[in-house]
Amino acid sequence: MKLNIISSLVLSLASVTYSYGQDLLDCSEFKTGNFHYSPPNGGEVTIKRTKKKQIERYNQETQKFIFEIVWIDDCSYDLTLTKTFGLPKERKKEILGTKLHCQVIDASLNHFEVTIYSDDSEKKEELTIYSNR
């Protein structure tokens, strides 16, 4: 019984600390603009983000991914894949409609760190995304 109470207190404290930290982040600079990052498999991805869309291009190739972006709060957003270019039809059918949940966990002057996961996978991925400003 004591262990359950202590565990609950620790979880509550961690939750409050996390929420407090999120309130201190200012993600407004990252809601629109041009960005880039290096994915885990190498290369470079360029991002053009408007209020409603995020367009990603891989390694200056013909592959392009267009996402609808919906901001949940100041530092978390969902991306839904709405269009792709440069992929085989079979692959397009598999991935269109994929939803990614993104949470900014740290922000600095020229970059932000984001945790990304989808409903289809338990795996979370962390990326550092740099501003081109």
The two tokens of residue 109 are 């002057």
pLDDT score at 41: 84
Q: Which domains does the chain have, with CATH numbers?
A: 26-131 (2.40.128)
pLDDT score at 14: 42
pLDDT, tens only, 13-61:
344 434 444 568 999 999 999 999 998 888 999 999 999 999 999 987 8
Q: Do 28 and 40 contact (CB within 8 A), yes or no?
A: no
Q: Do 36 and 45 contact (CB within 8 A), yes or no?
A: yes
90 has a pLDDT exceeding 60: yes
Comparison of pLDDT for 129 and 62, the residue scoring more: 129
Please report, for residues 24, 52, 113, 129, the alpha-carbon distance to residue 74 in angstroms, rounded to integers and kept in the order given: 10, 15, 14, 17
pLDDT score at 23: 62
If pLDDT is split at 50, 70 and 90, which confidence band does 121 have? confident
Gap between the terminal Cα atoms of the chain = 54
